[in-house]
Amino acid sequence: MADEDISTAEALRKTRTYGKIRCQNPSCMGRIEPKAGQTHVKCPECGMEFRVHWLRPDFPRIRGPVWEVNRKLAEEALKKKEKER
């Protein structure tokens, strides 16, 4: 190897996680670990629901929201925030 010292980028590699996705609600951002092949998940913390796509059998990603569910959550949150303003 040309240079044995490990760069910051390489040192941070151990922080990578696999098989998990994050809830996309910025006030939540909890980790969700779908079961193999599962195509739908619900965040246990905030209730947002997502459709899941598997890039590989060990690599899930969020395909998109479950539109009807998340729209309802958004509308409720907006109503609450508008009341508070």
Task: Report if residue 41 touches other proteins, rule: CB under 8 A.
Answer: no
CA distances from 21 to 7, 8, 37, 71, 80 (A): 26, 24, 14, 20, 28
Task: Report if residue 58 touches other proteins, rule: CB under 8 A.
Answer: no
Task: Report if residue 13 touches other proteins, rule: CB under 8 A.
Answer: yes
Task: Report if residue 2 touches other proteins, rule: CB under 8 A.
Answer: yes
- At its nearest, how many Å lie between other proteins and the CB of residue 34? 15
Task: Report if residue 76 touches other proteins, rule: CB under 8 A.
Answer: yes
With tokens 């599962």, the residue in question is 38
Distance CA 82, CA 67 (A): 22
